[in-house]
Amino acid sequence: MNDDEPRQRRVAGLEGLPPAPPMSPRKWATYLQYRAVWAAAARLPDALAWRAPDPIGDVWYRLAPRRQRNQVRSNQARAAGRSPRRELDRLVRDAYRSYARYWLDSFRVHTLDPDDVLARTEDVNTRILDEVRSDGRGAILATGHLGSWEIGAFFSTQRDWRLTVVAELLEPRRLFDRFVELRRALGLEVIPLVRGGDAVGRLEQVVRDGGTATLLADRDLTGTGPIVTFFGEPCRMPPGPAALARRTGRPVVPGACFTTPRGWRAVVHEPLDIAHLPVLDGTQQIAQALERLIGLAPEQWHVFVPNWLVDREPDHSLLRGGDDREPPISGEPR
């Protein structure tokens, strides 16, 4: 039997994936490092697991390239508004601590007791998503790179929200496959985000079948998303959630799972009735909803890369006072 056959069977159903490239020594090293961290994290005593993220995050912050720290500072300054320098310094450091907590939660989630997770998770209006789903017609959940995504997914399976998520294709491929296996073990369905794929079309079917399509809505990976105002500045955002709302006629529900000192906080905000809006306008409303979510804990927003137009496309005509109108998305009317 080919050594890859069991792995291929485990990720069967991920349609449209391009062939996996050969594993170079460097990719093998990356994969084995992740597996070693996974194994170590799973064996951490509970008390140590709660204390470890802060010192790990502090070391990460000190060792991070200056360019990355400056970008995190710039992103935090936008998300937190006008903050004194000392406060901004704290937010940047805490962002690294929070990201360390996210990764530790991700590596340990498959070992956690569901009853303990539910007991440690504060529920803030998650009934809203239950109410949207109550007619059996499915839902669209828009979230961001916020807090502890894996714990939020774990929480959702205990609530029978039937989440389907879109996953960015990672290299090495074995690492991507491992993430898929773990998310499926949590009860999630996974759609890979690949060039030329129809993730929105597949999510449309999920919603029509009564499931919950879940999309990260705070960062455009394509560089072609609609330009909206995000924390007061032009920013490209993914059109997927608004496009999916138009296709299905369903509202978009903003939500996130934040970390607390000894647990988590699942937060859901009021649904956005944007199915009748053009994608550009719907995306703007989603951006505003994400501002409110991120504002609850800006240090838990884990976008460490350029995100706004001025950082990604500094020569864009909009920044020079040109026409700010974006072309319609997929032929949608304005």
* pLDDT tens digits, 244-297: 999 999 999 999 999 999 899 999 999 999 999 999 999 999 999 999 999 999
* Angle, helix 53-63 to helix 85-108, in steps of 10 degrees: 120
Confidence of residue 10 (pLDDT cuts 50, 70, 90): very low
Tell me the DSSP string of 140-156.
EEEE-SBS-HHHHHHHH
For the chain, the structural domain boundaries read: 111-314
pLDDT at residue 16 greater than cutoff 80: no
* 55-95 pLDDT per residue, tens: 999 999 999 999 999 999 999 999 998 778 889 999 999 99
pTM: 0.89
Cβ contact 248:211 at 8 Å: no
Helix, strand, coil fractions of the chain, as percent rounded to 5 = 50, 15, 35
Q: If you search the block for the tokens 């929200």, which residue do you land on?
A: 161
Confidence of residue 22 (pLDDT cuts 50, 70, 90): confident
Radius of gyration of the chain (CA): 20
145 CB neighbour count, 10 Å cutoff: 20
* SS3 at position 192: strand
DSSP secondary structure code for residue 322 in this structure: -
* 86-100 pLDDT per residue, tens: 899 999 999 999 999
Strand ranges (E), 184-272: 189-193, 212-216, 227-230, 233-236, 252-260, 263-268
